[in-house]
Amino acid sequence: MKPADADQLTLTLEPMGKRVDVAPKTTVLQAAQEAGVDVMAVCGGMGTCGMCKVYSVSGKFSPVSLIEQEQLTAADLNKGLRLACEAQVLSHCTVLFPPETLATLQRLQLEGMQTATTPEPCVVRLKVDLSGISKSELDRAVDRILAEVHNTHGSVITFSDHLIPQLSKLLEENELELSLAVNDREIISVLPPDSRLVGYAVDIGTTKIAGFLVDLTTGQTLASVGATNPQIAYGEDIINRIKFANENPQGGKILQAILVQTVNSILEELRLLGNVSRDQIVDAVMVGNTAIHHMLLGLPVKPLGTAPYQTPATQSMVIHARDIGIMIAEGASIYLPPNIASFIGGDHVAMLLSTEARNRGGTILAVDIGTNTEISLINNNRHYSCSCASGPAFEGAHIREGMRAIPGAIEKMLIDGEVTKVKTIQNKPAIGICGSGVLDAVAELRRERLIDARGSWNRDDPRITMRGGKSQFVLVDAKGSGHGRDIAIDRNDINQIQLAKAAIRSGIEVLLQHAQTAADEVNLVLLAGAFGTYIDVHNAVEIGMFPRIPLERFQQVGNAAGSGARAMLISTASRRAAEQLVGQIEYIELMTEGNYTDIFMKAISFD
Ligand code: FES
């Protein structure tokens, strides 16, 4: 993106995806405040509170100041941390604010449709009572335990050395009674007799991560926490992250490390909320798109982003959590469901599982909208899936006044004659527009005939104004906004929405074509993902993102991938169902469809 004038520099503020044009030597804090981003700056930028920490991701900043050397540790500085009030912008730059630096957090959709799943976990509890043995026999406790487990469990079980120190301590503290967490191969954890057995389910999206702590015996969700995927600083979409991994010798390692770090931070927060120890977390399930899956495991991602788009790992996997540094019980494993293809992964499988899309009968369209959108069409016992690069526009990126869904973002808007009404998240003064707001704005502009079917302005309408030689429509003027500048939408913004909605619509059309069925034959449209939850479906149909299917056939199901991950966490049957399901899917690669370009070009129009 080019700066507005030659002297201006563009600073990209992540994770909110906000771009600001600033003069050289502007501090990151000044830029963030000007953009309406609430940064923790208790000392008002004096360099004394140390709260405005920010990662310098790319570009040139002023050298580390003496104040920063005092406030930050050598380890902080090595990680690229700076103080926002000290670091000055000297070129086009990107920074990433860690969650603790932001006073307001992004709205994340954690909950989703969940069908009842009977708990039947992989890891079960075995109570052991050694109260019959004398204290002198305690040295043989491991033998006694293994014999008892063998009797009740009937299979060969290993007992890792790391559990031995814990074992003696717990036997002494609990009058020779214990609970063991056991899977079919291994004793994973040794716990006090009545400890809850808990699992960790994680849905890792391109932009957001949702983590859940679940009681493995009852299936109850004990706590849920969301965070922004920190990889965003290395590429807003997956293609750019794959590029980063390929072009930098340590790229893959960096992407893996920051992801693992965030998955562990979410876990820490969940442990505090759920009041459970690390040893109690004896199983985990992680779902994500195929590239995220590979990055998490440290697998090569190059084949995913290069023709002929091979997928190194499609099978379901069980790995030791400790092998990738996930801080659950030392002996615990992580289950990862199978991937479908290079751009359609276990998160879509999880979504299909939790919504029971395949068991509903009739023709079902299941759409998980994100930076990458996965679509399934189930018709006449056939199941077609494709993935489309809808891009980050629905996250507010590449939109001039766009931002992610944080307080103050316009999430809904309506044009009523001369008056424009907006609704912001948490009713805070408007500082930008998030995805659902931009979609509403484009639908309203079209309804009011302020733009034509191609997205071009009707310049005869006095509501269209000019700024810097470009036509625009002002949603909130400078007086009414939270940062003292107009919030407007321009032709480029409309174009970004056209591209994003055309990507989704053309994916749907290709699948309908394969199924040889028409849109009005679709009985149910399941819309998943945060954006899918908050959009006005009527407006989405109006701008042509979806075919003209009656609105009552749409169902917004929230974070269904997270629900599917939880189902697979508590149920081995759900894991097997996920594996079977993948075998029945016919993956359609859009780029190899002969008439794809024609379908896409048609889908760009607002007709
Ligand atoms: Fe306090 Fe930067 S605002 S140190």
Q: How far apart are CA 170 and CA 190, in angstroms?
A: 8
Judge contact between 29 and 37, C-beta under 8 A.
no
Ligand 1 atom having least distance to the Cα of 83:
2
Q: Is the CB–ligand 1 distance for residue 28 below 6 Å? A: no
User: Helix (H, G, I), strand (E, B), or coil: what is residue 9?
Assistant: strand
Token pair recorded at residue 360: 């509903």
Beta strands in 292-449, from DSSP E residues, in sequence order:
317-320, 333-336, 364-368, 373-379, 382-388, 409-416, 419-424, 432-433
Whole-number Å distance, alpha carbon 53 to ligand 1 midpoint, is 8
Calculate ∠ Cα 372-337-352, nearest 5°. Answer: 60
Among the atoms of ligand 1, which is closest to the Cα of residue 42?
A: 1
Cα 500 to averaged position of ligand 1 atoms, centre (Å) = 39
Query: Rounded to the nearest whole angstrom, what is the distance from the C-alpha of residue 52 to the centroid of ligand 1?
Result: 5
Task: Pick from 46, 62, 69, 101 the residue to mutate for probing ligand 1's pocket: most ligand atoms within 8 Å of its CB.
Answer: 46
pLDDT at 28: 96
Q: Is 83 in the pocket of ligand 1 (CB under 6 A)?
A: yes
40 lines ligand 1 (CB under 6 A): no
Which of 72, 82, 83 has most ligand 1 atoms within 8 Å of CB, for mutation? 83
- Are 316 and 583 contacting, i.e. CB atoms less than 8 angstroms apart? no
Fill in the amino acid letter for 369: I
CA of 12 from ligand 1 middle (Å) equals: 20
Helix axes of 596-604 and 491-515: crossing angle, nearest 10 degrees:
130
**Ligand 1 and 50: CB distance under 6 A:** yes
Which atom of ligand 1 is the closest one to the Cα of 52?
A: 2
Residue 561 C-alpha to ligand 1 middle, in angstroms? 39
* CA neighbours closer than 13 Å in the CB half-sphere of residue 76: 17
Question: Ligand 1 within 6 A of 49 CB?
Answer: yes
Cα of 226 from ligand 1 centre, angstroms: 26
Residue 43 Cα, ligand 1 centroid: separation in angstroms?
A: 5
Output the CA 47–ligand 1 centroid distance in Å: 4
Element (H, E) at 544: none
| Closest approach atom of ligand 1 to CA 40 | 3
Q: In what order do the strands lie in the sheet with 470-476?
A: 464-467, 470-476, 487-490
Instruction: Give Cβ neighbours of residue 295 (< 8 Å, ≥ 6 apart).
Output: 231, 241, 245, 252, 255, 256, 259, 301
Q: In the sheet where 221-228 sits, what is the strand order?
A: 221-228, 208-215, 198-204, 281-288, 333-336, 317-320
Shortest-distance atom of ligand 1 to CA 85? 2
With CA atoms as reference, report the closest residue to 354 among 575, 121, 115.
115
HSE on the CB side for 97, CA within 13 Å? Answer: 30
Q: How far from 8 is each of 89, 327, 431, 489, CA to CA, in Å?
A: 10, 44, 21, 21
- Gyration radius of the chain over CA positions: 26
- Report how far ligand 1's centroid is from the alpha carbon of 302 (Å): 40
> Please, how many CA atoms are within 13 Å of residue 278, restricted to the half-sphere of its CB?
12
How far away, in angstroms, is 427 Cα from ligand 1 center?
27
Residue 523 near residue 394 (C-beta atoms within 8 A): no
Q: In the 3-class helix/strand/coil scheme, how is 342-366 assigned residue by residue?
A: CCECHHHHHHHHHHCHHHCCCCEEE
What separation in Å is there between the alpha carbon of 41 and the centre of ligand 1?
A: 5
Nearest residue to 497 via CA among 536, 439, 544: 439
CA 44 to ligand 1: nearest atom? 3
Label residue 161 exposed, middle or buried (CB < 10 Å: 0-12, 13-18, 19+).
exposed
DSSP per residue over 477-523, as a string? Answer: -TTTSSSSS-EEEEHHHHHHHHHHHHHHHHHHHHHHHHHT--GGG--
Asked whether the beta carbons of 123 and 90 are under 8 A apart, the reply is no
52 touches ligand 1 (CB under 6 Å): yes
**Residue 22, beta-bridge partner list:** 9
Task: Copy the structure tokens of residue 164.
Answer: 């031995």
Q: Which ligand 1 atom sits closest to the C-alpha of 71? A: 4
Strand partners, 199: 214, 283
**H runs (alpha helix) in 156-250:** 164-173, 238-247
Tally Cβ neighbours within 10 Å of residue 372.
28
DSSP code, position 553: G
Distance CA 179, CA 189 (A): 8
User: For ligand 1, what atom is nearest to the CA of residue 39?
Assistant: 3
> Of 33, 52, 76, which is best to mutate to test ligand 1, by the most ligand atoms within 8 angstroms of its C-beta?
52
Which atom belonging to ligand 1 lies closest to the Cα atom of 67? Answer: 4
Summarised one tens digit per residue, pLDDT across range 490-532 is 999 999 999 999 999 999 999 999 999 999 999 999 999 877 8
Rounded Cα–Cα distance for residues 378 and 522 (Å):
9
What is the distance in A from the centroid of ligand 1 to the CA of 83?
A: 7
DSSP 3-state of 188 = strand
Task: Report residue 120: phi and psi, to 5°.
Answer: -155, 65
Q: How far is the CA of 16 from the centre of ligand 1 (A)?
A: 20
Q: Check pocket membership of 45 for ligand 1, CB cut-off 6 A.
A: yes
Using the atom order of ligand 1, give the atom closest to the CA of residue 86: 2
How much is the pLDDT for 1?
Answer: 38
Q: Ligand 1 atom closest to Cα of 46?
A: 1
Ligand 1 atom nearest the C-alpha of 49 is 1
For 451, which DSSP code? B
Q: Using 70 as the pLDDT threshold, list the residues of the chain that sit under it.
A: 1-6, 42-43, 103-115, 135-136, 138-139, 155-156, 175, 308
Ligand 1 centroid – CA 29 distance (Å):
9
pLDDT at 584: 92
Residue 168: both structure tokens together: 């003696």
Atom of ligand 1 nearest to the CA of 48: 4
| Distance between Cα 81 and ligand 1 center (Å) | 13
Q: Is 269 helix (H, G, I), strand (E, B) or coil?
A: helix
Q: How many A from CA of 71 to the centre of ligand 1?
A: 9
Q: Is 583 exposed, middle or buried (0-12, 13-18, 19+ CB in 10 A)?
A: exposed
Reference 363, options 388, 384, 340, 339; nearest CA is 384
CA of 45 to the centre of ligand 1 (A): 4
Q: At 55, give phi and psi (nearest 5°).
A: -85, 130
The C-alpha atoms of residue 471 and residue 459 are separated, in whole angstroms, by 8
Task: Give the predicted TM-score (pTM) of the model.
Answer: 0.81
To test the pocket of ligand 1, the residue of 30, 37, 51 to mutate (highest count of ligand atoms within 8 Å of its CB) is 51
Distance of CA 542 to the CA centre of its chain: 27
Regarding the beta carbon of 41 and ligand 1, being less than 6 Å apart is answered yes
Predicted confidence at residue 35, as pLDDT, reads: 81
**SS3 call for 465:** strand
Q: How far apart are CA 531 and CA 381, in angstroms?
A: 29
